[in-house]
């Protein structure tokens, strides 16, 4: 199965879109601080899901899913 068909990947993309919309209203002085960090965390989730799905072993895939979950916790 391709990662783009996974519900978790689709939902994580929605999260990124929503977060970008929300952070547009953050104060300008947060552009390089909180806003940037939150956006990088959000983008990391679908990126790690995709990278994990491209790995050769299920252990590698699971490791990248753990990294994606860590990004969610950070966010």
Mean pLDDT computed over 11-38:
95
Provide the H-helix boundaries in 2-57.
7-23, 34-53
- CB 65, CB 52: distance < 8 Å: yes
Mean pLDDT computed over 3-30:
96
pLDDT-based confidence at 60, cuts 50/70/90?
very high
**Position 59 pLDDT exceeds 80:** yes
The mean of the pLDDT values for the chain is 96
């Amino acid at each position: 199965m391709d990662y783009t068909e996974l519900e978790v990947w689709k939902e994580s993309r929605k999260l990124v879109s929503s977060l970008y919309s929300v952070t547009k209203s953050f104060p300008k002085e947060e552009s390089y601080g909180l806003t940037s960090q939150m956006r990088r965390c959000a983008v990391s989730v679908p990126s790690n899901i995709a990278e994990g799905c491209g790995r050769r072993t299920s252990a590698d895939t699971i490791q990248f899913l753990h990294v994606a979950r860590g990004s969610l916790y950070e966010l």
